[in-house]
Structure 1
């Protein structure tokens, strides 16, 4: 669903993303992790062709309409500018499909509202909701787009624990249905539990790519995140516990 080959994004002469090659396949939930400033957001925007770049991305060469049908983009910024109802705002996700899919669009909007637990919010004005509620509405808009690939930049930041887990479960369901998700995360516990693979970014480079149980080693956590942490696969699922910074 996405192929990157030596993708490089420069800020002046400095590479913010430096020669990243990777691929996304059907059925995957990929957690994009790394410290602040590692290049995670820039990588996703470059992959979508929203930034000038070197190297190649299979999405960047598409025209805007085809790209929107192939991939839904959920940016980190959550500003809702218009006083639309929740249902009307979620329906904006149907724009790439044109007016010839009205019935399918209505079904997609209803399904997206249901998946994000927003059925009772449908007639409320989106700008009057809390920050966490607005975040769920914007995720629903991306789901209504029905693009096979979703790229989401810190979608669970600021959500309460139940909403964080529910959102990751929605992403897992999207992947099981034949789609794929790439999402940047700072909660390594949720990344370990809900992602099939992790991409680890550090100083613009992808330094690891693999299943959580292989990637989240003590050595990598120390080198990239500068923390001591405990990670273990248990019968109940992966458990991740930060212990201290390396300076402690």
Structure 2
């Protein structure tokens, strides 16, 4: 089942297209990594597909009324500051807002979704702590849990593992991989190419606003494309856990 279809999506900054006629679809069961250098257009593509930026072309999500869109796709932006001194559990519970009538309390179903999200992100012992007292990496995990509590068919995340320690990065991507195996879908931008190759069954590579390649990691991550798009001299090592990108230098 297709959860997102984007056709000829163009996002402009002034007259300049920062996303240029991008087309792709995301199906249930996929964990898709969106990769590319800084400035490639990854964030603008995600935000345009959600209807958060003006765009040309079509997106099935952007065409939905806001309430329906919130029940179909959860969104984790790149900026993830927690400003209010709320408990971890209460922040995660905000993910249930699309399903609650104004002023309503959490139902048993809502509470179960919150509990499951806390457990997935290893935050059970944090639930009564103030989120503002946590480290930056811990706060990031809380906001990922809030997204999981939304319990949507599609999860879209912009650099979700930035600022996390290596163990938390792997744990988060394992959660995303499990969501896909359960029949949902994930579209996430990532900078660690080896982790993207290991935990995503498909990669979309962007460069200068365009989709350069779209397919299985071993087909997308080639030395020629890494040189072309990232200006990176790199080896791509084939391992049982997927390709590993070994950077050797920067091309002039």
Aligned to 2:246: 241
Aligned counterparts of 1:133 and 1:42: Cα–Cα separation in 2: 26
Unaligned runs of 5+ in 1: none
Q: Give the C-alpha shift of residue 91 in structure 1.
A: 0.2
Q: Give the C-alpha shift of residue 242 in structure 1.
A: 1.1
Alpha-carbon displacement from aligned partner over 1:130-183 (angstroms, at most 9, x marks no partner): 000000000000000001101100000010000000000000011111110011
Q: How does 1:1-248 map to 2 (within 5 A)?
A: 1-99=3-101, 102-247=107-252
Instruction: Check the 8 A contact 2:92/2:149 in 1, yes or no.
Output: yes
Secondary structure of the structure 2 residue equivalent to 1:223: helix
Secondary structure of the structure 1 residue equivalent to 2:107: helix
Q: Give the C-alpha shift of residue 79 in structure 1.
A: 0.9
Secondary structure of the structure 1 residue equivalent to 2:191: coil
Provide the TM-score with structure 2 as the length reference. 0.96
Q: Give the C-alpha shift of residue 11 in structure 1.
A: 1.0
Instruction: Check the 8 A contact 2:153/2:184 in 1, yes or no.
Output: yes
* Distance 1:237-1:17 versus aligned 2 partners, 3 A rule: closer
Instruction: Check the 8 A contact 2:80/2:140 in 1, yes or no.
Output: yes
Aligned counterparts of 1:191 and 1:90: Cα–Cα separation in 2: 26
Q: Give the C-alpha shift of residue 217 in structure 1.
A: 0.5
Aligned counterparts of 1:3 and 1:115: Cα–Cα separation in 2: 28
Q: RMSD value over aligned CA atoms?
A: 1.0
Secondary structure of the structure 1 residue equivalent to 2:238: strand
Q: Give the C-alpha shift of residue 114 in structure 1.
A: 0.3
The total of aligned residue pairs comes to 247
Q: Give the C-alpha shift of residue 236 in structure 1.
A: 4.3
Secondary structure of the structure 1 residue equivalent to 2:243: strand
Aligned counterparts of 1:31 and 1:151: Cα–Cα separation in 2: 10
Q: Give the C-alpha shift of residue 82 in structure 1.
A: 1.3
The runs of at least 4 consecutive aligned structure 1 residues that moved more than 4 Å come to: none
Alpha-carbon displacement from aligned partner over 1:195-241 (angstroms, at most 9, x marks no partner): 11111111111111011100000100000001111112223443221
